Amino acid sequence: MSEFFAQLEKLLQALADPEYQFLVLEPLLFWLVAAGAVCFGYAYFSKKERLQIVGLSFILAGALVFLPYLGARKASAQRIEQVYKLESPSRSKNFAENTRQREEQRWVYLMLAGVAAGAILVGPTRNRLGFALGVASMVLGIYTMERSLWMNYQDALAFHPNLKSNHAPVASKPKPPVAPEVKPAPASKPSLMPVAKPVAVGESETPRIREFRPLP
Q: Model confidence at 189, in pLDDT bands (50, 70, 90)?
A: low
Express each pLDDT in 64-115 by its tens digit: 999 999 999 888 888 877 777 777 777 778 888 888 999 999 999 999 999 9
Q: Taking the model in full, what pTM does it have? A: 0.70
When the pLDDT of each residue in the chain is averaged and rounded to a whole number, the result is: 81
- Reply yes or no on whether the pLDDT at 184 is more than 70: no
Position 173 scores a pLDDT of: 54
- State the CB neighbour count (10 A cutoff) for residue 45: 7
pLDDT digits 0-9 by tens, 30-57: 999 999 999 999 998 888 888 999 999 9
Q: What is the pLDDT of residue 147?
A: 93
Query: Rounded to an integer, what distance in angstroms lies between the CA atom of residue 134 and that of residue 33?
Result: 13
Can you give the C-alpha Rg of the chain in angstroms? Answer: 43
Distance of alpha carbon 170 from alpha carbon 159, whole angstroms: 11
Does the structure show a pLDDT above 60 at 202?
no
166: phi then psi, degrees, rounded to nearest 5? -75, 140
